[in-house]
Structure 1
Amino acid sequence: MPNERLKDVMASRGWTCSALAEKAGVDTKSVERWANQNRTPRLGTARLAAEALGEDMFALWPSLRQPRAARAISPELVALYEQRADLPVSVFVDLLGKATERIDVLVYAAVFLHEAYPRLNELLRERAAEGCAVRIALGDAASENVKQRGEEERFGHGIESRCRLALLHYRPLLGTPGIEIRTHGTTLYNSLYRADDQLLVNAHVWGVNAFGAPVWHLRRTGAGTLFDTYAASFDAVWNTARPVEES
């Protein structure tokens, strides 16, 4: 059965089999087989031919559109938790406590850390004193996105109050070498807790408080892109955030 699409394109644009063969780097008989016997060229050859014809390669040879095999699990995924409440605070504390180069925290409030672990500021000072760069991005209580999150989670003005409380918790760290604190007004799709090449991602689900939403633990391995995707997300938010001034 001939490849009618290919034959029509060649005819309408004045291409002979020999001319297309020259452009694609094959012999004329190969192109004749593509057209008359519906043979499928190799991927690289098909791309050259399609470019010469000014046509979509997959429209000419649909069989080249092979579905990519799905990977069952990312090589960077260490663990998946159904909800943040399943993780004891010690998991967050241990992760941050082992950091030697970088700690990044992106949240709206996450006051559960200070409430459950009052030494958090001391831990961050210790890490910074050892040369670890610490960046804390908190929600701006006056931002529309924070207010909207409160409505969506049926929290009312509670989340705005918790953003202010979080800032009070972290404010004693202002002026500490190696520690920066900023506020942001972005939509918080995920809360991020990074320690060097490990990352806890607390996903956010519409209408669900963060403690009831899933958490995945990622470790950068070089064999995936998930970690770097979230790390880049943190940097993008950080670049829009405002430094908190010492009072």
Structure 2
Amino acid sequence: MNERLRTVMVRRGVPVEDLAAECEVDPKTVERWISSGRVPHRRHRWVAARRLGAEEAYLWPQVAEVNDRRPEASRAELIEVFADRASVPRELWLRLLGEARERVDVLVLAGAFLSQVQPRIGRVLADRAGVGVRVRLCFADPSGEAVAVRDREDCLVGTLGAMIRSSLTHYRGLVGVEGCEVRLHPVTHHVSVVRFDDEVLVTPHVFGESGNASPTFYFRRVQGGNMFDHYVAGFDRVWDAGVPWAGDVG
């Protein structure tokens, strides 16, 4: 049992349900953190420690040992590097999508490559949501200033907004589907992130180049690693800045 976590929660007057809501996990997950001594994922540790006003390393002393192994663990997270996103095999995209059991998170500018990989992408994502997969899609706001700036930088002569609107037509059927949410984000776009449970494909964007021409990194979460959590945390920040999309592509 994690007596330190239990004691701090009691002293701070924070019930299991409140800490679970803060960390966006099920209350049973927090109960396991206490009863079995399970160490939460890094992001959840940070949120919990902040809510409880305690040091992460005090609540989970094992973290110090894990941190000592972090450089080696982070290298182990990297499964493969593709010279460009266009070189990522279609079979890999389809396998990861088909095997997802908990979540699919997508952060893209226009994300046209997704419908090229799977022409029925909207229907497939709805099917995944139907078996309990949480689907979150975050596209750049085609009317936003960040898109206008990117359009000028890449010399797209006003076409980027239209590209995003065209891509969004594939997802209109997801509006109102339980377990699915589509948002439009207003932020400057530096990286595309496509997550399937504990695996993620990351494409850093290079000035003046399309995403398909940029290298893509394939990571798998490893205990003690940093890379997977780093990009997932970035997705969450952009997601929080986005607004729900109602299905209008006009």
Q: Please indicate, yes or no, whether the TM-score normalized by the shorter chain is above 0.5.
A: yes
Q: Note if contact 2:74-2:226 (Cα within 8 Å) is conserved in structure 1.
A: no
Structure 2-normalised TM-score?
0.67
**Root-mean-square deviation (Å):** 1.9
Q: CA deviation at 1:111?
A: 1.2
Q: CA deviation at 1:151?
A: 2.1
Instruction: Provide the residue aligned with 1:188 in structure 2.
Output: 189
Query: Distance in 1 between the 2:74 and 2:179 partners?
Result: 36
2:250 paired with 1:236? no
The alignment covers a number of residue pairs equal to 179
| Equivalent position SS for 2:122 | helix
Q: Note if contact 2:74-2:222 (Cα within 8 Å) is conserved in structure 1.
A: no
Q: CA deviation at 1:145?
A: 1.1
After the TM superposition, which of the residue ranges 226-235 and 109-118 deviates more from structure 2? 109-118
Q: CA deviation at 1:164?
A: 0.7
| Equivalent position SS for 1:235 | helix
The structure whose Rg is larger is: 1
Query: Distance in 1 between the 2:233 and 2:74 partners?
Result: 21
| Equivalent position SS for 1:127 | helix
Instruction: Provide the residue aligned with 2:83 in structure 1.
Output: 82
Q: CA deviation at 1:112?
A: 2.1
1:143-188 Cα deviation digits (max 9, x unpaired): 1111221222222222211111122111111111100000001111
Which letter does structure 2 place at the counterpart of 1:82? Answer: A
2:122 paired with 1:118? no
Which letter does structure 2 place at the counterpart of 1:83? Answer: D
Where in structure 1 do 4 or more consecutive aligned residues deviate above 4 Å? 70-73
Query: Distance in 1 between the 2:123 and 2:79 partners?
Result: 28
2:201 paired with 1:200? yes
Query: Distance in 1 between the 2:239 and 2:227 partners?
Result: 19
Q: CA deviation at 1:246?
A: 4.9
Instruction: Provide the residue aligned with 2:104 in structure 1.
Output: 103
Instruction: Provide the residue aligned with 1:135 in structure 2.
Output: 136
| Equivalent position SS for 1:75 | helix
Q: CA deviation at 1:193?
A: 0.4
Query: Distance in 2 between the 1:108 and 1:170 partners?
Result: 14
Q: Note if contact 1:76-1:223 (Cα within 8 Å) is conserved in structure 2.
A: no
After the TM superposition, which of the residue ranges 129-138 and 140-149 deviates more from structure 2? 140-149
Instruction: Provide the residue aligned with 2:171 in structure 1.
Output: 170
Query: Distance in 2 between the 1:207 and 1:101 partners?
Result: 35
| Equivalent position SS for 1:167 | helix
1:199-229 Cα deviation digits (max 9, x unpaired): 0001100111111101000000113111001
Query: Distance in 1 between the 2:142 and 2:133 partners?
Result: 28
Instruction: Provide the residue aligned with 2:48 in structure 1.
Output: none
Q: CA deviation at 1:73?
A: 6.9
Structure 1-normalised TM-score?
0.68
Q: Note if contact 2:140-2:186 (Cα within 8 Å) is conserved in structure 1.
A: yes
Instruction: Provide the residue aligned with 2:220 in structure 1.
Output: 219
Instruction: Provide the residue aligned with 2:33 in structure 1.
Output: none
2:151 paired with 1:150? yes
Q: CA deviation at 1:108?
A: 1.1
Q: Note if contact 2:93-2:117 (Cα within 8 Å) is conserved in structure 1.
A: no
Which letter does structure 1 place at the counterpart of 2:156? Answer: F
| Equivalent position SS for 1:239 | helix
Distance 1:231 1:116, change over 3 A: closer
Q: Note if contact 2:73-2:222 (Cα within 8 Å) is conserved in structure 1.
A: no
Distance 1:144 1:80, change over 3 A: same
Query: Distance in 2 between the 1:121 and 1:90 partners?
Result: 18
Query: Distance in 2 between the 1:165 and 1:226 partners?
Result: 32
Quick check: which one's helix share is greater?
Answer: 2
Distance 1:130 1:149, change over 3 A: same
Query: Distance in 2 between the 1:96 and 1:153 partners?
Result: 30
1:103-146 Cα deviation digits (max 9, x unpaired): 00000111122134212112111110110000000110111111
Q: Note if contact 1:138-1:166 (Cα within 8 Å) is conserved in structure 2.
A: no
Q: Which runs of 5+ in 1 are unaligned?
A: 1-69
